[in-house]
Amino acid sequence: MKGVYDILRLLYHKKNIMNVLEGNYITKIYGKEDNKVVALDDFSIEIEEGEFIGVMGSSGSGKTTLLNVLSGLDNADSGSIIINGNNIGELNKDELALFKRRNLGFVFQEFKLLDSLSLQENIMLPMILDKREPQSMKLRAKEIMSLFDIYKLKDKYPWNVSGGQQQRAAIARAVINEPAILFADEPTGNLDSKSTRVIMNYISKMNKELGSTILMVTHDPFAASYCDRVIFIEDGKLSIEMMKKGDKKNFLGDIIHALSLSGGAVDEI
Ligand SMILES: Nc1ncnc2c1ncn2[C@@H]1O[C@H](COP(=O)(O)OP(=O)(O)OP(=O)(O)O)[C@@H](O)[C@H]1O
Ligand SMILES: [Mg+2]
């Protein structure tokens, strides 16, 4: 049973914290002196609970760095990151690891599946770490793998399946525990249009029905059109911010227009 203190804290939390995620004045620098790269330059962002945000921008603009720093996977050189009211810079290593496992899901640009585990084992990993009951884990894994059309590959290893199949397994692993916040780096980068639709519909459903907050990097205007807000990054700074007005189709037009203004990237479509 919850104590009075816990209930007060929950009420306080609900009332005062509109932003589920805040990055304040973040700077991230790689390398030193002549090799110095300012990947994020005094970057600030506020994300409300239940928002679905797309991050776009040219290669090397700082999108992956932003996701890594906001999710606590990497440290910023300066600035603060507040998730659910927790300043993640103030959590110790164990607290941060537990917090991430309970609240956050990650889809990495390069998948990061474990080669020694089958696809099904990779996908069940977050549930195994949470000591969930084996039968319910298998059922949940089957449900999500079937939906993503990779159930027939459940006993294969990552090196035995295609890039698109690995990517769908990586997404399944990230969403299996229904995280409160999902960080997805190019989740449809290796997928054909049919799989892209399946994945985007699933992520969108998670956002609408479970209220998950989503931060998704993408080069694909179609994927970005599912978002409520799209931000463009150039040289580690926010360059354009667009809110969805009207439907997905209108937003797709607006995004393509913004891409054409930001130069070149529209040629990739
Ligand atoms: N580990 C690293 N060491 C040194 N420089 C890095 C490192 N990671 C990223 N960078 C540099 O920081 C900048 C931002 O990189 P980042 O990976 O965030 O870009 P990105 O927008 O995700 O690009 P892409 O669309 O190609 O994935 C780039 O100039 C990149 O070369
Ligand atoms: Mg990247």
- Estimate to the nearest angstrom the gap between the alpha carbon of 172 and the chain centroid: 13
Mean pLDDT (the chain, rounded): 91
**116 pLDDT tier (thresholds 50, 70, 90):** very high
Q: 66 is written with which tokens?
A: 């932003």
Instruction: Look at residue 14 in the predicted model and tell me its pLDDT.
Output: 46
If one compares 252 and 3, the residue with the highest pLDDT of the two is: 252
pLDDT tens, 211-254? 999 999 999 999 999 999 999 999 999 999 999 988 999 999 99
Looking at residue 84, its amino acid is N
Q: Lowest mean pLDDT: which of 5-14, 79-88, 233-242? A: 5-14
Q: Whose CA is nearest to atom 4 of ligand 1?
A: 30
Question: Counting ligands in written order, which one lies closest to the CA of residue 29?
Answer: 1
- State the closest ligand 1 atom to the C-alpha of 61, by its place in the atom list counted from 1: 21
Locate the ligand 1 atom nearest the alpha carbon of residue 236 and give its number.
Answer: 14
Q: Which ligand is nearest to the CA of 32?
A: 1
The pLDDT-based confidence of 13 (bands split at 50, 70, 90) is very low
- Token pair in block for residue 238: 């926010």
CA proximity to 117, closest of 148, 155, 70 = 155
Q: Whose CA is nearest to atom 6 of ligand 1?
A: 30
Q: Please report, for the chain, the start and end positions of each structural domain, with discontinuous segments joined by +.
A: 50-72+91-264
Distance of CA 175 to the CA centre of its chain: 10
| CA 33 to centroid of ligand 2, rounded, Å | 23
Average pLDDT of span 54-64: 96
Best residue among 56, 64, 68, 75 to mutate for probing ligand 1, ranked by most atoms within 8 Å of CB: 64
Distance between CA atoms of 86 and 95, rounded to whole angstroms? 11
Cα dist from 152 to 139, 161, 176, whole Å? 14, 11, 18
CATH of 50-72+91-264 among 3.40.50.300, 3.20.20.120, 3.55.40.20, 1.10.630.10: 3.40.50.300
Taking the centre of ligand 2 as the mean of its atom positions, its distance from the CA of residue 60, in whole angstroms, is 7
- Using CA of residue 176, residue 177, residue 182, residue 185, what is the dihedral sign? negative
Which residue, judged by its Cα, is nearest atom 24 of ligand 1?
59
pLDDT given at position 10: 53
- pLDDT (tens digit, 9 = 90+) per residue, 157-214? 999 999 999 999 999 999 999 999 999 999 999 999 999 999 999 999 999 999 999 9
**C-alpha of residue 190 to centroid of ligand 1, in Å:** 19
Strand runs labelled E in 72-228 = 78-83, 86-87, 104-107, 181-185, 213-217
CA separation (Å) from 160 to 126, 165, 188? 22, 10, 20
